[in-house]
Amino acid sequence: MEKVRFFLEQTITYKILTLFLSHVKDFLEIFGTISYRFFQVLKYLCTLQINYKQVIEQSSRFAVDSLPITLSIVIMTSVILSMQISPELVKQGGKDFIGLLIALTMVREIGVIMSGFAIISMIGSSQASELATMKVTEQIDAMKSLKVSPFKYLFLPRVIAGVITMPFVVVIASACGIIAGGLTSMAAGKDVTWLCYVTSVWQGLYIRDINIMLFKSACIGGAISLISSSCGYEAKGGAKGVGNATTKAVVLSFVAIVIIDCIFAIAFYI
């Protein structure tokens, strides 16, 4: 029996299966931990134990600090998209659809997703490393020993800031993206005028899409803060632990954005 077991353990299928199962276990553990943190945050939110000073501070970090990089990424993506599609659509006689296409992609996908990615790299990573440093230097233990809940003081303001601020960032970024796309299409595609572009944009924009964009960006903002804070809070060890927590926060936040986007696409566009 022992020999059979030893033989089985040496097979590639067994090793792949073991690796896969360990990843599934890790994922379920992380999902469980983040869900637990979410309910902790919800508990303090429902009892209105909100530190408004912290919310304002975190919101200003979320919006002001991330805006330049978010705008750069969304505008550049829009410019590239417009440069690629405008000449082709003009050639095919579809110049009246350039604005529609840019507006739809901005509002439904690129505005939210690219802003999310920019915010993860700017704010999510900083939140994770900040909490991880606090954890490894016993500042979080000190907070607990002073009978102040880290969920109330650290998590809740960050999550609220993410939920409130992210839609504003996305609206500004998407609007700038649409404008940049228009200017690029006028330069790249012959016969495309500003009026023609704007008319096409209005044809493609629906209130429903904007509402979904706002809701989706609020969910993504909250998820980035919750995941980043959770990963930071779980940090162990010294500098390496801080680095690992930050990496984990960035990777998980990226995955979460894609999953949330997928859920919204299925829920609202199928």
- Based on its alpha-carbon atoms, the radius of gyration of the chain, rounded to whole angstroms, reads 23
Is residue 29 near another protein by the rule CB under 8 A?
A: no
- Burial code (b: 16+ CB inside 10 Å, e: under 16) for 135-156 equals bbeeebeebeeeeeebbbbbbb
Stretch that binds another protein, among 15-23, 98-106, 137-145, 205-213 (CB under 8 A): 137-145
Is residue 267 near another protein by the rule CB under 8 A?
A: no
- How many binding residues for another protein (CB under 8 A)? 17
Q: What is the DSSP string of 132-179?
A: HHHHHTTHHHHHHHTT--HIIIIIHHHHHHHHHHHHHHHHHHHHHHHH
Is residue 141 near another protein by the rule CB under 8 A?
A: yes
> Is residue 92 exposed (0-12), middle (13-18) or buried (19+ Cβ within 10 Å)?
exposed
Contact with another protein (CB under 8 A) among 4, 93, 145, 208 = 145
Q: Residue 148 or residue 267: which is nearer to another protein going by CB?
A: 148
Contact with another protein (CB under 8 A) among 30, 69, 143, 171 = 143
Is residue 51 near another protein by the rule CB under 8 A?
A: yes
Is residue 144 near another protein by the rule CB under 8 A?
A: yes
**Angle made by CA atoms 187, 193, 199, in degrees to the nearest 5:** 130
Minimum CB–partner distance for residue 226 and another protein (Å) = 20
d(CA 73, CA 139) in angstroms, rounded, equals 35
Q: Residue 29 or residue 138: which is nearer to another protein going by CB?
A: 138
Is residue 23 near another protein by the rule CB under 8 A?
A: no
Q: Are 245 and 234 in contact (CB under 8 A)?
A: yes
Is residue 72 near another protein by the rule CB under 8 A?
A: no
Q: Residue 5 or residue 144: which is nearer to another protein going by CB?
A: 144
Q: Are 57 and 126 in contact (CB under 8 A)?
A: no
Q: Which of residues 113-132 bind another protein (CB under 8 A)?
A: 130
Q: Which residues bind another protein (CB under 8 A)?
A: 49, 51, 130, 134, 137-139, 141-148, 152-153
